[in-house]
Chain A
């Protein structure tokens, strides 16, 4: 047809028209149905607006009077993050070896992958609740939680790095009759070391951030201070804490970015 030649049309994103319109329709139905069944109680919302107003009025200006409590909370968060990073890395290295397809045998590989998937699947807050129930309130539960959180990230990425190594060095070691352990130490470790250090620094930053959240469910650190302030309707102190958390996260992000750039 001549019109097809003279007028240009933007190529469609999904070529098959049935599939395209089918997807659009399915999406539209999903959105309409889920939105229609949303229980929004507008009276409750307008009521809530007043409540939010009260929270904001209570929060301004932020109250830095109890800065001693704030600093103690932060130092505890920092300690939790440091210990969890060290523990997490110590466990991540053997796990990553287990979960690397080119190093380990099949059953060990599946076991390693399974542990990593489980560690990654649960939000740190859920893990924290379980640990708080098991070992009691406080920083120990927080550190355990963040160890699990660190494994999920560090072991996964480290295993992927191990799978990408230059295998020539491993073969060279094997050909001169080196044992399994010395092959790992001399042929694999040097190749993944820069990545491991980079991941460690990133994870420290990310643990510091997460430690503020797991504290809300009783796992120690600044989050515990924040939850207490919220629970006592101390909104001005809560705002002060939130502002400092945001500030510290920005600073730690900058510092870890700087260190990683220097190392890489």
Chain B
């Protein structure tokens, strides 16, 4: 009898994964299924409501149709307010995030302590949600647009500062060294060696955040911080469903408008 070469034994049938890989994959799948089963079996849900949900949702949708445009002028005014909240807050946040980004980038920070202060500001700003910031600032400034602007601003600083800090860390260091060699001051180094390199990233990040802020500021009104959310809340509380759907349509238009504007600006700038 002819002896088969060991190589032939392994090659006579093809398989995509080795046995070990296959075991890992099935193991992962089993773990996922177990976790899902645990979540499904122990979640505190009234199952009758679940089976009833499609009917209820269809019912609600039916009540929303057709949208009622009678309140359109005040809806549009609130939308304008929402745009202002997002825009002003983004502008302030951009200005305030510049020094934070500078000290939280490892290559420009003056020292360790400043680095950690910067990191702490970034993390604490990002971990608290806009709604929670808004709850706090409504308590301070009273209900209205000012609380909304400050809330969005506090949330945006972390996002802008983090991404901008990363952009600063990625710069080419040679222009900085060249300027240092000529004896330029710290300020001039920042202005001529760092700023031009991070400028495109800076605008891209600011535009992206503006787009996100448009969405975020639509819900501020739900906790009393101004914008379209106030009208939405009022319409929901009074069961005025045709107006609710009108508000939702306007928000949809606003967000699509924001996406069009931001992609246009990105193309123009980059």
**Complex CA distance for A144 and B131, rounded to whole angstroms:** 20
A38 to chain B, nearest CB (A): 6
| One of A98-106, A120-128, A177-185 contacting the partner | A120-128
Measured between beta carbons, the chain B residues less than 8 angstroms from A135 are: 49-50, 52-53, 56-57
Q: Is A130 interfacial (CB-CB < 8 Å)?
A: yes
- For the complex, is B256 an interface residue (Cβ under 8 Å from A)? yes
Q: Interface residues of A: mostly helix, strand, loop or mixed?
A: helix
A255 within 8 A of B: no
Query: Is the Cβ of A34 less than 8 Å from the Cβ of B84?
Result: yes
User: Residues of B contacting A212 with CB < 8 Å?
Assistant: 129
User: By the criterion CB–CB under 8 Å, are A217 and B222 in contact?
Assistant: yes
Instruction: Give A51 to B140 CA distance when docked, in angstroms.
Output: 6
Query: CB-CB < 8 A to A38: which residues of B?
Result: 145-146, 149
Which of B34-42, B105-113, B172-180 contacts the other chain?
A: B34-42
The minimal Cβ–Cβ distance linking B191 to chain A, given in whole angstroms, is 9
**A30 contacts which chain B residues (CB < 8 A)?**
87
CA–CA, A217 and B57, complex, Å = 18
Interface size on A, residues (CB 8 A): 57
Question: How far is B88's CA from A130's CA once the two chains are assembled, in angstroms?
Answer: 29
How many residue pairs bridge A and B at CB < 8 Å? 135
Interface string of A12-41 (1 = CB under 8 A from B): 010000000000000000110011001111
Residues A34 and B60 in contact in the complex (CB < 8 Å), given A44-B142, A83-B39, A140-B50:
no
Report the minimum CB–CB distance from B189 to chain A (whole Å).
Answer: 14
Q: Does B270 contact A (CB under 8 A)?
A: no
* Residues of A with C-beta under 8 A to B2: none
B114 to chain A, nearest CB (A): 22
A40: which of B132, B146, B229, B255 is its contact (CB, 8 Å)? B146
Instruction: Judge whether A39 and B144 touch: CB under 8 Å.
Output: yes
B248 engages A122 (CB within 8 Å): yes
Residue of B nearest to A124 (CB): B219
Please classify how large the interface on chain B is, using the bins under 10, 10 to 19, 20 to 34, 35 or more: 35 or more
Over the window 94-126 of chain A, the binary record of Cβ atoms lying under 8 Å from chain B Cβ atoms (1 yes, 0 no) is 000000000000000000000001101111011
Q: Looking at the assembled complex, report how far the CB atom of B66 sits from the nearest CB atom of chain A, in whole angstroms.
A: 17
Using an 8 Å CB-CB cutoff, how does the interface string of B43-63 with A read, 1 for contact, 0 for none?
111100110110011011000
- CB nearest neighbor in A for B144: A39
A 37-50 to B, binary, CB cutoff 8 A, 1 in contact else 0:
01111001100110
Residues of A within 8 A of B46 (CB): 136, 138, 140
Closest to B36 in A: A86
A250 and B127 contact, CB distance less than 8 A? yes
Chain B window 114-153, contacts with chain A (Cβ cutoff 8 Å), 1 for yes, 0 for no: 0000000001100111011001100111101110010000
Q: Are B56 and A79 interface neighbours, CB within 8 A?
A: no
Tell me which residues across on chain B come within 8 A of A45, comparing CB atoms. Answer: 140-142
Assess whether B215 is interfacial by the CB under 8 Å rule: yes
Query: Would you call B88 and A126 a contact (CB within 8 A)?
Result: no
In the assembly, what is the distance between CA of A122 and CA of B196, in Å? 36
1/0 per residue, CB under 8 A from B, across A126-153: the answer is 1001100111101110011000000000
Q: Can you list 15 residue pairs at the A/B interface with Cβ under 8 Å?
A: A13-B199, A38-B145, A48-B140, A51-B140, A55-B139, A76-B44, A79-B39, A82-B36, A121-B215, A123-B218, A126-B219, A135-B57, A139-B43, A209-B129, A230-B135
Given A44-B142, A125-B131, 17 more pairs with CB closer than 8 A: A31-B88, A38-B146, A39-B145, A45-B141, A48-B140, A52-B136, A76-B44, A79-B42, A121-B251, A126-B248, A126-B251, A129-B236, A135-B53, A138-B44, A140-B53, A242-B132, A246-B127
The interface of chain B, by Cβ under 8 A from chain A, is 35-36, 38-40, 42-46, 49-50, 52-53, 56-57, 59-60, 84, 87-88, 91, 123-124, 127-129, 131-132, 135-136, 139-142, 144-146, 149, 192, 196, 199, 215-216, 218-219, 222-223, 229, 232, 236, 244, 248, 251-252, 255-256
- Across the A-B interface, give the 5 residue pairs with the lowest CB-CB distance, nearest first: A48-B140, A79-B39, A121-B255, A246-B127, A125-B219
